[in-house]
Structure 1
């Protein structure tokens, strides 16, 4: 890759996912259930975004952490073909068990593991000054306690190094307390692209009305920044400079595995922006990318570059 080409860096959570389903009802404690479908794979929002980029034929730069156990070595194999900078931490590898339910909802059980040890110094060491137009996507800061205390300064440093800063906040384990809302407001002042789902947007804005939430959250962003609200099966909404636009998706076939839907959208959207697409085309690319990846099970079967068509504008 030429040094003057825009870079796509992803900073955040890298872990292991065990996806199981479908679980109809909650079993009685002490019993055992057989589930017909399962996949062990690389997980975490940052890894999901990087894998989606690989599926699109891109060359992302993934910065995160791993543990120092055998599972970490397996995890590295799943990220083949991706440029990675992973801090090795003296800890077990973080693992999530995702249980799929018939209504499309998911239940997650996640270990603490290595995620809390990723350090700002490591991130900045591997996030050099970038060519114009580069993007740095930050994911799941609430899970990365080693980054969280100085997270606003980390975003400011990325911006100063030439990156457009993109952020997917994820969900705070402690809930959207007033303290968390103030904390997040400080982060948003550094964002060029904020990528959240509908419930997260309304939680940040303290309202159940999406239109009002969009106005309130947009006011917290830097001038000219793009607020992207992911609406699940309904598509996505984009807002910039006081104007909103929506991209509506067509009804999809039943999907078993919705883990990583938002992460896949993030990659499709940002990849399109890197290629010079406007807001409408980027929303469409994000939805197409998520729509192409989600029906695939197991996900490991998707070849690198197989989904490159998702980034092509549709007439």
Structure 2
């Protein structure tokens, strides 16, 4: 990657192509899948499930990459660090990132394994069931980290999903160190509830060591991280450990605590929930854009809710409407 450009946000994440198809509850049951669940599968299982799925569409995804897509639409300069294979889906992912205006220059690697893919089954109520084969995404080497670029950025956005393999974990640690040497703030998303059962101690160490400037999670994740069923107790205990804590609560809205200030907002009204894939990622886009633009904590949360509402009104995790126009219509 070039180091002469300055970016608002540099993100490290899984480079994934989402394969999305509608599915009945009967189909999910026949596959032994619970609607709304997420599981990791190997390449063979991915091929077998793909063969049984209905007509599908391919859309580049990945949590951090989705957040960058929203940030780019909102007018912020972004760069992505992730690993694809030298194959068809790798070309799809690379094209989609660059076409959105996101810098993405990590060289593709020859397979196997192939480029990561997530097979997403959308139930009639819009709930998504995710079946992910991470493949090449978990081969991201530490050598892919441009330390100078990260040190000059305003935020380093990291998705917790990528912590779940040795090579990308080493890459993340190198990136965090570069961020701390510069003036770059670290925005860390816990990403998934199952990770708390495996890496809770690691995440708490990052927090206690002062590495994380903004921690992003949902209500279940923060409760699991702090090992309590009392959400308010979890928020109180964690908010004194990180400069900014953001907690999403689905239909119940979201809250954030920053420097002793607490803000809460309701979820936006949505005419019809089509696909919840990427809602949290796009919420991140809006919230982080608000912080970059110097908006209040409450307005940043509202920006996140506006962007998430746009996302769940259509298939796929990337924005289709003009997010800036939607935000300006509400907040100016």
Judge same fold: TM > 0.5, yes or no. yes
Residue equivalent to 2:213: 192
Q: How far did 1:218 drift?
A: 2.0
Q: CA RMSD in A?
A: 2.8
Correspondence 1:314 to 2:331 = yes
| TM-score, with structure 1 as normaliser | 0.85
2:57 to 39, 46, 56: 39
Q: How far did 1:240 drift?
A: 1.9
Q: Distance in 2 between matches of 1:66 and 1:33?
A: 25
Residue equivalent to 1:100: 122
Correspondence 1:123 to 2:145 = yes
SS at match of 1:65: coil
| TM-score, with structure 2 as normaliser | 0.81
Q: Distance in 2 between matches of 1:217 and 1:90?
A: 42
Residue equivalent to 1:16: 17
Q: 8 Å contact 1:151–1:187 — kept in the other structure? A: no
1:61 to 75, 79, 92: 79
Q: How far did 1:95 drift?
A: 0.5
SS at match of 1:136: strand
Higher percent of residues as helix: 2
1:137 to 119, 142, 157: 157
1:70-109 matches, cutoff 5 A: 70-79=88-97, 80=99, 81-91=101-111, 92-109=114-131
Q: Is there any run of 5+ residues in structure 1 with no aligned partner, and where?
A: none
Q: 8 Å contact 1:118–1:144 — kept in the other structure? A: no
Residue by residue over 1:25-74, the C-alpha shift from the partner in whole angstroms, topping out at 9 and shown as x without a partner, is 33536999774x74210011122112212332333211211112122112
Residue equivalent to 2:234: 213
Q: 1:263 to 1:157 in 2, by over 3 A?
A: same
Higher deviation after alignment, 79-88 or 144-153: 144-153
Residue equivalent to 1:28: 30
1:237 to 255, 260, 270: 255
Q: Is there any run of 5+ residues in structure 2 with no aligned partner, and where?
A: 32-47
Residue equivalent to 2:40: none
Count of equivalent residues: 303
